[in-house]
């Protein structure tokens, strides 16, 4: 924790904390609780409040298939903005995991689009959380030769890639 946090009682819901301060305090508590050697950095830019961890042993924080970091991100949104939905989105990352995951999703999306085009049939992707489905939807929209939609119910909601009728 930083020096300015020493006099706080650890209550993340304190009304005097700005969103960035609340997020930093939350991430510092998680790092301490998991006994990680990691540095926490928080910044706000273009409607996104981002919290980044860097360190050697952040794998535990990321979790299997990103499940832990996704859960922390979801909880952080609710803790930092306790009065309900906010126009500011909280994004949590660790050692560039989010960009590596986005790259993998785009590659998977290209494979699905190519398969849909070669077979002429819709291709279903594995279930994805909403923000990952958004990455695929936006990426394939720019491609222009396929369309996408989501089917199913959370947490098993998945994306379908369909070739455009040409």
Structure tokens given for 166? 């040409």
CA 83 – CA 69 distance, rounded (Å): 22
Write down the CATH number for the domain with range 3-95.
Answer: 3.30.300.20
- Domains of the chain, by residue range, sit at 3-95, 99-163
Answer whether 73's CB lies under 8 Å from 51's CB: no
Answer whether 139's CB lies under 8 Å from 128's CB: no
Q: What is the chain's pLDDT, residue by residue, as a tens digit (166 residues)?
A: 444 444 444 454 445 689 999 999 999 999 999 999 999 999 999 999 999 999 998 999 999 989 999 999 999 999 999 998 999 999 999 999 999 999 999 999 999 999 999 999 999 999 998 889 999 999 999 998 999 999 999 989 999 999 998 6
Please tell me the pTM assigned to this model: 0.79
Q: What angle do CA 64, 66, 94 make, to 5 degrees?
A: 115
Fold of the domain spanning 99-163: Ribosomal Protein S8; Chain: A, domain 1 (3.30.1370)
CA 78 – CA 90 distance, rounded (Å): 9
**Are 3-95 and 99-163 the same fold in CATH?**
no
CA 149 – CA 137 distance, rounded (Å): 8
């Amino acid at each position: 924790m930083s020096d300015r946090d020493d006099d706080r009682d650890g209550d993340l819901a304190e009304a005097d904390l700005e969103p960035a301060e609340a997020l930093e305090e939350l991430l510092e508590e998680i790092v301490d609780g998991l006994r990680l050697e990691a540095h926490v950095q928080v910044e706000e830019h273009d409607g996104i409040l981002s919290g980044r961890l860097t360190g050697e042993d952040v794998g535990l924080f990321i979790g299997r298939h990103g499940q832990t970091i996704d859960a922390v991100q979801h909880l952080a949104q609710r803790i930092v903005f306790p009065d309900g939905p906010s126009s500011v989105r909280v994004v949590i990352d660790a050692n560039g995991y989010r960009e590596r995951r986005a790259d993998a999703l785009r590659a998977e999306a290209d494979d699905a689009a190519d398969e849909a085009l070669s077979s002429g049939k819709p291709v279903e992707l594995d279930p994805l959380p909403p923000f990952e489905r958004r990455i695929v939807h936006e990426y394939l929209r720019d491609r222009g030769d396929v369309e996408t939609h989501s089917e199913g119910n959370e947490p098993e909601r998945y994306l379908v890639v369909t070739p455009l009728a040409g």
